[in-house]
Structure 1
Amino acid sequence: MRLKLAATAAIALTAMPMAAFADGEVNIYSYRQAYLLEPLLNAFEKETGIESNVVFAKQGLAERLDREGRNSPADVVMTVDISRIDELVERNLLQGITDNEILNKNIPENLRHPDGQWFALTTRGRLIYTSKDRVEEGAITTYEDLADSKWDNRICTRSGKHPYNIALISSMIAHHGEADTETWLAGVKDNLARKPQGGDRDQIKAIAAGVCDVAIGNSYYYGNMLQDENEREAAEAVRLVFPNADGRGTHINISSIALTKSAPNKDNAIKLMEFLSSAEAQRIYAEANAEYPANPNVKPVGMVAEWGEINPDSISLQEIADNRNAAVKLVDRVDFDGE
């Protein structure tokens, strides 16, 4: 496997052309970090003999695909959020796979595009973190509770416009409608202990430092911090809450894969997609980043299994994607990221 690591800026991506490859290869544009993909792609090459070439970037892949058009060497795109994959759909950069028995069997209907334009590979819960010292267990159990005035000046979160929070707000719109979700979001803003900032790990650190008592974050950040000797102490200061576990289920987001519209190695690309949905690959992928397998026949392992069963919200991720623009407008309307 050859990892071609691109710079994060779109202009830098333009400056790094990708060479033409032989028929025995598959070319990947990825928002997922290279170290997470390496064991998967090594296993894929061992099983099929197909080599993988990866361009990794934090942003700009949609723009690159758009620029390259039909001459793009990319066969598949791997993303880390429903918003990013939906952007590729909206820009007509993908092609659907509708009649693939393996993919349709391995990936549940709510975790794939209705026309097969993307397929989830792993899921992660958008959880609530609470202080073990200052919040009693069971004191908060739902996303709706975040707007309760009892949490005034006690909540931390990253920007409301970050894709992870946009997806959560989109799910609230799906369940409650725009008007009620706006009221809820305004209530959450009123309860913030500080202006939204940082990433999900920073919210855990803020709880440990006493800045706030409650925060919102993805499950795998907590898992990764527990494995980092420099961040373990902060992670151990919080407990995980799986919101709405006794009701509609916890909101989940996805990492996903999609076939590009150009796909010069289409057959190899589909073989890769099938492999990544298999039980073997699902175990490797989920364990590498403390995530949940998208394939329901593969159970979580290690620390993720120790957290207990997750009851995921069964709403279609495409419905959440369809509410993205409305969610962004609500964040602006309540000035969620303002002082």
Structure 2
Amino acid sequence: MSLRSFLLATAASAVAFPALADVNVYTTRQPELIQPVIDAFTTQTGIMVNLAFVEEGIVERLVAEGDRSPADLVMTVDIANLSQIVDAGVIQPVESEVLEAAVPAELRSADGRWFALTTRARIVYASKERVADGEVTTYEDLADPKWQGRICTRSGVHNYNLALLSAVIAHHGEEQAKAWAEGLKANLAKKPQGGDRDQVQSIWQGECDIALGNTYYMGQMLEDPEQQDWANSVRIVFPTFEGGGTHVNVSGIAMTNAAPNREEALELMEFLVSPEAQAIYAEENNEYPVRADAELSDLVASWGPFTPDTLDLTELAGHRAAALRIMEEVNFDG
């Protein structure tokens, strides 16, 4: 599609966006994952919310719409996506004592341009049959030759793995991060392909013994009758960085520059970090709330406690370009 065609299509979609709600939200997350907490907000406040699923091109859409955008808020996952939206200049800072009190400093931007709503850990799925308790301890350990031919993972250039490698860079520098990526690649049982759940299937099939994945995929597998055997064949292990904690990423929210319904949008943002909303949102997505006093779902609690890494997520986003370069230099997916 040419730039002109894209801009015309975007403008048309902006006009077609239903202006029936009090707050309009662009989301890269499937609306059904968010709807329960939105329904709770509407019930409590009477404010109607319209969720528009924008699977791809959300930044380009916001840039093209500019001040005409009907979107008040943007909800997305991964710090790289949040940073990209901020860097595009389409987000305004938000000052809110409620948000600042609820969301830890390392899980929001210092200038108030984005706030995390939930977190997910990048963990190891380990075979219950072939991996002993305590055999996996650190991320650094995954590059040890003892794991040769025993690890599965999705593409090294996927955002989830780039964020993890960005954390390795933050902890150890680019030179050691490249050595780690090379060691991890040398330990792969097969060429990276598929998603995180596919790696667990490979463990179940005996193709590998451990795999990198996000925590919430365990919940998704257990909800799918065809994937329950995969889930039951592994346990969740929370590796840590040497001198650090377990790598986490976020889902988050930001207010657009246009925000035609700014007051109502801010009310929604503040509701989403309330204990009630945090419990609903985290349970629906098998994620962790950002509020320390919000309840975990029974399933998430069953995975056990862990210590999140306290690296500033904005710093991790700043290392993404270097992480991508390293993955390409070592030909991780080759």
- In the superposition, the TM-score normalised over structure 1's length comes to 0.93
In the TM superposition, 1:21-32 aligns within 5 A as: 21=19, 25-32=22-29
Give the distance between the partners of 2:243 and 2:281, measured in 1 at CA: 28
State the secondary structure of the residue aligned to 1:16.
Answer: helix
2:307 maps to which of 308, 311, 324:
311
The answer to whether the Cα contact below 8 Å between 1:245 and 1:312 also exists between their aligned partners in 2 is no
1:64 aligns with 2:61: yes
In the alignment, which residue of structure 1 is the partner of 2:3? none
Counterpart residue identity of residue 318, structure 1: T
1:78 maps to which of 56, 70, 75:
75
Give the distance between the partners of 1:288 and 1:12, measured in 2 at CA: 36
The answer to whether the Cα contact below 8 Å between 1:13 and 1:64 also exists between their aligned partners in 2 is no
1:19 aligns with 2:46: no
In the TM superposition, 1:266-305 aligns within 5 A as: 266-305=262-301
Count of aligned positions: 327
Give the distance between the partners of 1:12 and 1:146, measured in 2 at CA: 48
Cα deviation digits, residues 161-214 of structure 1 (max 9, x gap):
111111111111111111100000100011111111100010100100111111
In the alignment, which residue of structure 2 is the partner of 1:213? 209
Counterpart residue identity of residue 39, structure 1: P
1:231 maps to which of 223, 227, 232:
227
2:252 maps to which of 250, 256, 259:
256
In the TM superposition, 1:121-132 aligns within 5 A as: 121-132=117-128
State the secondary structure of the residue aligned to 1:253.
Answer: strand
In the alignment, which residue of structure 2 is the partner of 1:204? 200
Query: Which consecutive segments of 4 or more residues in structure 1 shift more than 4 A?
Result: 10-13
Q: Work out the percentage of aligned pairs sharing the same amino acid.
A: 50
1:250 to 1:12, Cα distance in 2 relative to 1, 3 A: farther
In the alignment, which residue of structure 2 is the partner of 1:5? none
Q: CA RMSD in A?
A: 1.7
1:182 aligns with 2:168: no
The answer to whether the Cα contact below 8 Å between 2:33 and 2:284 also exists between their aligned partners in 1 is yes
The answer to whether the Cα contact below 8 Å between 1:245 and 1:310 also exists between their aligned partners in 2 is no
1:86 to 1:54, Cα distance in 2 relative to 1, 3 A: same
Structure 1 position 216, deviation (Å):
0.1
Give the distance between the partners of 2:65 and 2:240, measured in 1 at CA: 43
Counterpart residue identity of residue 58, structure 2: L
- In the superposition, the TM-score normalised over structure 2's length comes to 0.94
Structure 2 gaps of 5+ residues are 1-5
Structure 1 gaps of 5+ residues are 1-9
In the alignment, which residue of structure 1 is the partner of 2:116? 120
Structure 1 position 13, deviation (Å):
7.2
2:37 maps to which of 27, 40, 43:
40
